[in-house]
Amino acid sequence: MTVTNPLLADSDLPAFDAIRPIHVIPAMEEAIAAHRAAMEVIGQSGADDFDTIMLAAERADFALSRTWSPIGHLASVADTPDLREAHAAAQAMMTAYLMEAGQNRIQHEAVQRVAQSAAFATLPVAQRRAVELALRGFRLSGVALEGDARQRFLEIGVALSDLGTQFSNAVLDATEAWTEHVTDEAALDGVPPGDKAILAAYAQEKGLSGWLITLRQPSVLAILLHAKDRALRERVYRANATRASDQAQDRSFDNSARIEAIMKLRHEAAQILGFADAAAHSLETKMAADAALALAFLHNLAERARPVAERELAEARAFAAAELGLVDLQSWDMNHVAEAMRRTLHGVDQQALKPYFPLPRVLAGTQALIEKLFGVRMVARDDVARWHGDVIFYDLVDGNGAVVAGVYLDLFARAGKRGGAWMDVCRSRFRDADRFHRPIAYLTTNFAPPAGERPSLLTHDDVVTLFHEFGHVLHHLLTEVDLPSIGGISGVEWDAVELPSQFMENFAWQRDTLIGLSGHVDSGEPLPGAMFDRLLAARQFQAGLAILRQIEFATFDLSLHRDYDPAAGARVNETLARVREAVAVIRPPEWNRFAHSFGHIFAGGYAAGYYSYLWAELLSADAFELFARRDLPGGGASAFRREILAVGASRPAAESFHAFAGRAPELDALLRLRGLAA
């Protein structure tokens, strides 16, 4: 009897309960062979109509993505040695093939025929856009390259993919490798009971008594925010800030050589394509015209933020000396001092807030908000295969009761799971003849898990993170574009893709929304209005320091890629020091190596694009102000859904914003949001 590979099943949802590492390589071999055959048929057809060329290519791409998506996802959330080995081999195979497909001249000529056909001008806007972006994709994949340059570009693509995976794996391994076992509870003085319960659970996971401090996000925050033992804070800060670096206690995960190789290869690839540098290459697909414009935007913000940040730092130093006896404020003190200042000066105690945000109540409130704004309900399903018992699946149901989309939620930190929070695509929306594929998303966070019988309790920052990721999810799920290449987040300029996520963050600061989704874990009482008022009043607390930190990271990223010199190498530490001299008011210790775990730019999609968070925040702040004032040409949430979420990349992001707002975006709203307006 033939056993079907679950990764090749033509199913609406992956069979996560059946997928094993042994399925990965055979599935990818078969999926790539099928895609290659489909491209050959398309290229040799001689046709110039959209359906024969473009729709057939979308169909083949959809099938390939359907196989690859669960493999890549499992590698991020359920890492094991066998899966890691299979994923690495499959990723190399996939990358090599995609590079090959991007240089397929026969397929490129077929797409050109569609663009040059008499019927092209009469195609719907979305279809014309799909053709235009496909041609740009071929150009950026080196379709015009010849001989050695063509082969070298292919080799670089495969090597960069492998290096990105190695970088990410090193960070994950370094995160799991460092621990500090605590047997005397006095060492955890100041750490709240809920956080200590998490540390106790980490110890039990390893068969230890007492408490285990790790570099998982809930553990790091528990110590840096609350531990009174300054030496303990310094040890955890140092371990976290030197992960996967030459300064780490265990240097076996050092990413230094990988960073050098990544930067060298990115620069070489950009120059092969005719770009001056990797920044110019990256910005070809973004709203910002060039690195100079993006850096000018950051410089403008830095000039406005720096005086505010200097004042905030002086206030923190004064408070630390007067109230905590810290006369030489260090990097490992900053979170602890900030938390004490929020409590003392603003009456905001994150630990007092957490019981009001038990995860089940927050999820119910989030669902209510989404239904109120966009008219769709989230309905939990128990019959869906999942990769871990904590995973939840929801159908998205419209006003007529029809299921239109779905989302997996994987919310808790655990071993074998990459840190941070993200949304990714499981299935794209695709209407193919009489077959309709609904969009499906993954939403992943690393919240503190439940402690015993008590549910997970979220910080307000966690609530903001959840809303942020749901913004990405809604962008993917509420698309009305039937072509995967330009539906949802696909094809959207990278410096605009954060607009929906940052737009949604604002609801975590709205009185009715936040109080409505709260409910004390013991009494069920909603968040008191006075506590909300204090939280809102403190929204801009240390806003100057926070935005300068983002500007520092974004400027470092752009400078690193724009100014790369093959003769000198990446000069990571030198570049970072130069950027901090110009931007920062807080200077981390010389041994700080945050870049070595900066996965966004070395293992993610944000290379020479980290500025996108602030660029998109400009768009989202302006959009939300208009929404809040109801000062929109087409209404509020309905206009946002129609003009931003529904259209995907079927038109440029600047046009979508103008359709929503009735004008171009303006900077003032961001300055007001961040407390930087004069």
Strand partners, 440: 406, 427
How far, CA to CA in Å, does 125 sit from each of 71, 130, 589, 650, 663? 34, 9, 53, 7, 21
The amino acid present at 271, given as its one-letter code, is Q
Q: How far is Cα 647 from Cα 483, in angstroms, rounded to an integer?
A: 11
Q: Where are the alpha helices (DSSP H) in 206-255?
A: 217-226, 230-241
Find the largest Cα–Cα distance for the chain: 79
Q: Tell me 578's DSSP state.
A: H
CB atoms within 10 A of CB 125: 10
Residue with tokens 């749901």: 470
Q: Tell me 546's DSSP state.
A: H
Residue with tokens 């989404």: 370
Name residues whose C-beta falls within 8 Å of residue 595's C-beta, 6 or more positions apart in sequence: 259, 556, 572, 573, 576, 602
Helix (H) or strand (E) holding 441: strand 440-447
The answer to whether 482 touches 649, Cβ cutoff 8 Å, is: no
- Pick from 130, 134, 24: nearest CA to 69: 24
Identify whether 590 is a catalytic site residue. Answer: no
Q: How far is Cα 659 from Cα 664, in angstroms, rounded to an integer?
A: 9
Q: How far is Cα 156 from Cα 266, in angstroms, rounded to an integer?
A: 8
How far, CA to CA in Å, does 192 sit from each of 283, 355, 411? 45, 12, 21
Would you state the structure tokens that stand for residue 618, as one six-digit string? 């400009």
String of DSSP letters for 378-431: EEEESSS--SSTT-EEEEEE-TTS-EEEEEEEEEE--TTS-SS-EEEEEE--EE
Would you state the structure tokens that stand for residue 664, as one six-digit string? 């171009």
String of DSSP letters for 453-510: TBPPB--HHHHHHHHHHHHHHHHHHT-----TTTSTTTT--TTTTTHHHHHHHGGGG-
Looking at 58, 312, 339, 469, which residue is catalytic? 469
Q: How far is Cα 585 from Cα 311, in angstroms, rounded to an integer?
A: 10
Q: How far is Cα 420 from Cα 413, in angstroms, rounded to an integer?
A: 9
Q: Which residues are catalytic?
A: 469
